[in-house]
Structures are given as C-alpha cells and as structure tokens.
C-alpha cells in the first residue's frame, strides 16, 4: 500500500512539474496588461506569440519594386542595434531565468514590423517548443523595444512602404 501511494505521489509530482514548464499550452497568454495569442507553426516545433492588438500580419506588405531581398538589403542591421536589443533582454529577464534559458537552449526569434522611418510598430515572438522563456517578460520586452529601438536604412528608397517585416534570432546560449 505504501509503495502504491509513493508511486502515485511521484507520478503526480512529475506531471505537475512537466505542466509547470509548459508556459504556452493555452491559446491566450497574459503578460502584464497585454494578451498574446499563440499560433502553432506547421512543423510543431515552433509557435508564434502575437499581441492581440497587432494587425499588420493580416495586411499585405507594400514595398518599392515588391523586392523583399532588396528591401532587406536596405536595412542597416548594425551590431549596435542588435546589442541594444540584447541589453533589453539581459536587463528584463531575471538571473535565474537566464540560467534556465541557457540550459534549455532557448531560441527567441523576434519578428519586427517597422515603418519606413525605422520605428518598430509591432513585434511577434517566435519560440521553439522546448523553451524556458516566461510569458511575464513578453509585454516588457515589447514595450522597451518599441520605445528604444529605431532601425536605420542605407538609403531612403524604402519610403512609402506601409511596413517592413523581418526577424532576428537571439540564442540564449550566446547572449546570457
């Protein structure tokens, strides 16, 4: 009888621990005062977290010459901008959670929607299935990036674009 109770307790504890690690089981996730919706990607290994207020992902991107490759070549992806974003991540995420993210090898892909002046309008967060990134950080990181990051362009040939969409990957093993 004691063995049965112990076995049940161990199984129950394991289930609780596994479920506690899956922060993104639900389709709607609350972060601060913001609500994010989860969209599973077809490969089943990644999902997108998108602020429910975001609308640009539904709109067709209008860029000069309809040439996305050319468009991306005009954005100045300098190290300074990337380092600013990494600093935002480092300052926002607790030391304990940074360690968990490192050991779980969390990849965070941030999808940017910027205007033709380089201002960040909206963000999506793409996460791999087995990650340790806590939802509590989503709204803080989103607000800080929107307020502190402006991308620059190599020329003004993207003027008139309704938005420009691209992503950057942040590997927890490298930045923490």
Averaged pLDDT of the chain: 88
CA distances (Å), origin 65, targets 81, 115, 125, 157, 160: 26, 17, 28, 10, 11
Q: Residue 16: its pLDDT value, please? A: 38
What value does the mean pLDDT take over residues 61-86?
Answer: 88
Q: How far apart are alpha carbons 176 and 171 in whole angstroms?
A: 9
Residue 105 predicted with pLDDT over 80: yes
Q: Residue 13: its pLDDT value, please? A: 43
pLDDT digits (tens, 9 = 90+) for 74-84: 898 888 999 99
Asked whether 89 and 140 are in contact (CB, 8 A), the reply is no
What value does the mean pLDDT take over residues 22-26?
Answer: 87
Reported in sequence order, the residue ranges of 115-171 that DSSP labels E, i.e. its strands, are 120-128, 152-153, 164-171
What value does the mean pLDDT take over residues 127-156?
Answer: 94
Q: Residue 119: its pLDDT value, please? A: 97
pTM of the model as a whole: 0.84
Q: How far apart are alpha carbons 90 and 78 in whole angstroms?
A: 19
Q: Residue 66: its pLDDT value, please? A: 82
């Amino acid at each position: 009888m004691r063995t049965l109770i112990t076995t049940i307790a161990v199984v129950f504890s394991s289930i609780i621990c596994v479920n506690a690690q899956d922060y993104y089981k639900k389709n709607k996730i609350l972060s601060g005062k913001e609500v994010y919706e989860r969209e599973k990607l077809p490969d089943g290994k990644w999902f997108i977290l998108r602020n429910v207020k975001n609308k640009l992902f539904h709109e067709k991107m209008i860029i000069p010459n309809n040439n996305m490759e050319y468009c991306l070549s005009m954005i100045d992806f300098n190290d300074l901008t990337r380092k600013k974003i990494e600093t935002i991540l480092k300052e926002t995420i607790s030391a304990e959670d940074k360690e968990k993210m490192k050991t779980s090898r969390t990849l965070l892909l941030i999808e940017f929607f910027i205007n033709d002046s380089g201002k960040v309008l909206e963000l999506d967060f793409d996460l791999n299935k087995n990650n340790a990134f806590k939802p509590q950080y989503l709204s803080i990181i989103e607000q800080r990036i929107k307020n502190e990051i402006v991308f620059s362009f190599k020329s003004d040939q993207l003027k008139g674009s309704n938005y420009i969409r691209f992503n950057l990957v942040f590997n927890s093993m490298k930045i923490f």
